[in-house]
Amino acid sequence: MSMKFIKRIPTAEEVLEHIPMPSHIQEIKKKRDQEIRNVFANQDDRFLLIVGPCSADNEDSVCEYISKLAEVQEKVKKELLIIPRIYTNKPRTTGEGYKGMMHQPDPEKKPDLCEGIKAIRRLHLRALSESYMPAADEMLYPENYSYLADVLGYIAIGARSVENQQHRLTVSGVDTPVGMKNPTGGDISVMLNSIFAAQHPHSYIYNGWEVESTGNPYTHAILRGAVDRNGRNIPNYHYENLTYLAKEYEKLELHNPAIIVDVNHANSMKCFYEQPRITREVLMSRKYDINLQKMVKGLMIESYLVEGNQGIGENIYGKSITDACLGWEDTEKLIYYIAENK
């Protein structure tokens, strides 16, 4: 066997006992969770914004960013429901590069997954305790969901994971809203099949147990653009893309059909400064088509304290070390624009 066993990973029970959720936060989170579900169930017409850094690389700067989001949320609470991005796991196309805080609690040091699991739970809990906003994270490793199950308000399944059987089955046993991204090649049928699978009950193996799930009715689509065989980006946020997906969605007769548009990644051709322009186009499409106004529930935006990105070791506080992000001033302006024009 070509593996070196380093040390045993602590169980979820051990980590939760060591790093519990404060009791005064539990009711706050329960209320916020229901508000998010109500948006997907058409019982709340507020627009969702899933916004924050590409990757959560530093606890202090992430929490400072989220505290700013919380202040803005209070001002737009009648129009918008904001979910901060705290992405602690990063998929890597070639396997190289920074894989997120769970792998490397300190990006400049060697991986330490045992400490990483504890670090990401502490980060989520600190942000929740300070700002009262349950966050979004990516389910890169389905077996690790149990370490964060009680703190997350939203989950995304990435473009490289959406066709994976274990991701689909695990989501079917989750009661948090989960967005399935279209795969990197852009095949909408793969994403829809994933949503269909996750909304239905299954029997499967999870963390050493035989389990049964009831299905997750809040599973939905995220459009993030695609990349062709020549490496060219193909946006899928235009009006024609949205209406096509809406029609295909309806054929499957799924629960709570909903679309979130990721305005970065392949949709922006990784040009972070295009996110406001793409946002305006999506909002215009919603206003033009009453069906899209009902189905397009929100946007995913990459944003941090300082615009752009940097290399590991440059140590510019609040600047992304993965994909480039909008800076705070432009983000704040964009949020107010969305609140006025949703």
Query: What topology is assigned to 12-341 in CATH?
Result: TIM Barrel (3.20.20)
CA 334, CA 302: separation in Å to the nearest integer?
Answer: 12
Total residues found in the chain within this entry: 342
**H or E element at residue 341:** helix 328-341
User: Residue ranges of the domains in the chain?
Assistant: 12-341
> How much is the pTM?
0.97
Q: What tens-digit pLDDT sequence spans the chain (342 residues)?
A: 788 888 999 999 999 999 999 988 999 999 999 999 999 999 999 999 999 999 999 999 999 999 999 999 999 999 999 999 999 998 888 878 899 999 999 999 999 999 999 999 999 999 999 999 999 999 999 999 999 999 999 999 999 999 999 999 999 999 999 999 999 999 999 999 999 999 999 999 999 999 999 999 999 999 999 999 888 999 999 999 999 999 999 999 999 999 999 999 999 999 999 999 999 999 999 999 999 999 999 999 999 999 999 999 999 999 999 999 999 999 999 999 999 999
CA 231, CA 214: separation in Å to the nearest integer?
Answer: 39
Helix, strand or coil, per DSSP, at residue 24: helix
Helix, strand or coil, per DSSP, at residue 262: strand
Helix, strand or coil, per DSSP, at residue 82: strand
